[in-house]
Structure 1
C-alpha cells in the first residue's frame, strides 16, 4: 500500500515545490506580475504571438482568428488568457483554451525577446497549470514545433510529456504534449 502512495506523494511535493518557486520568483521581482486578460491587452497579446510565429513560421487562419478576436475564439468558449507584466508593460502571454469538460490546451504562449531570461515563460506556464487545476481540469495539452528548442525544454521542465494526439489544425505543429493534473 505504501509503495503505491509514493508516486502520488512525489507528485504532490513536486507540485508544491514548483508552486512555491513560482510564487517566490514573483515575490523576488515585484516588477513582475501575471494578470487576467482585459481588452486593453489584446494588441499586446496579438503582437507578442505574431512576433514569434512570424520569426519561425507563417501566420495561419486559426492564429488570425484567436489573436484578432480572443473574446470570440478563446474567452467566450470557457478559455482564459493571462498576461505577464514587467514594470506594468505586457511582456508575455499564455492562453488556456477549453477542449473538453475536464481538459484545456495551453496555447499562444509568448515572451518578448527583450524580457527573456527572467523566468517569465516558466511563471506563465506554472500559472496556467495552477489555473487549469482550479478550473477542474484533469489534463493539460499543448502543440508546438521541435525547432523551438527552448520552448520544448520549458514544457518538459513544467512536466509535460510527448504524446501522439489527434491531427493538428496547425501546419507548424510537429509535437504534441500533455500533462495529467
Structure 2
C-alpha cells in the first residue's frame, strides 16, 4: 500500500489506545470528558462491539489516523449511533472523516439499519459540515446523555 493511501479497517484490540487517544484529544480540547465517554473509550469491546456495534479505523500505512464507532441503539427509534469519530490533528482536512463516515453508513446498511443517529455540538463547525455532506439532517426530540450535545442529526438509509 502506498504510504499516503488511507485504508479503512475493522477495529482490533491493538488499536484500543489509538481509539481512546484520538477521541480524548478532541473532546478535551473543546469540552470535558464525561461518564459515557469513559465507558466507550475504556471498554470498546464490551460497550460497542459486544453489543452489536462496530468500530472503523483509518490507517495510513501502519499508523492510525482516524477512528469512528457505530453503536447499536437499544430501546430507541434509531438503529445505530455514529459516535466517537476522531481524526489526527496532523491529518485533518484530507477527507479521512468523509471516508470513515461513508464506511460507517455502509456498515450500518449491511447490518440492516434504516437510520443512523448522531449527537454533536454547534461549536464543531467542520464536523457539522462533514455530517451534512454525508447526508445527515438536523432533528430534535431525543434526550442526550452528554452535557455538550446541542445538536442531533439523523441519516435515513433508503
Q: Give yes or no for contact 1:31–1:88 (8 Å, CA) kept in 2.
A: no
Query: 1:52 aligns to what?
Result: 26
Q: Deviations over 1:139-167 (max 9, x none)?
A: 01000000000000000000000000321
Q: How does 1:82-97 map to 2 (within 5 A)?
A: 82-97=56-71
| Contact 2:3/2:60 (<8 A) preserved | no
User: How many Å separate the matches in 1 of 2:64 and 2:121?
Assistant: 24
Q: TM-score, normalised by structure 1?
A: 0.82
- What corresponds to 1:130 in structure 2? 106
CA deviation string 1:52-106 (max 9, x = no partner):
0000000000101110001111111100001000122001000000015971100
Residue 152 of structure 1 aligns with which residue? 128
Greater helix content:
1
Q: How many residues align?
A: 155
* TM-score, with structure 2 as normaliser: 0.94
Matching of residue 174 in structure 1 with residue 150 in structure 2:
yes
In the aligned structure 2, how far is the partner of 1:43 from the partner of 1:87?
17
Structure 2 unaligned residues grouped into runs of 5+ = none
RMSD: 1.7
- Deviation track 1:112-165 (CA, whole Å, cap 9, x = no partner) reads 100112100000000001111111000010000000000000000000000003
The structure with more radius of gyration: 1
Partner of 1:139: 115
Distance 1:117 1:166 in 2: 30
Q: Structure 1 CA distance, aligned partners of 2:4 and 2:124?
A: 29
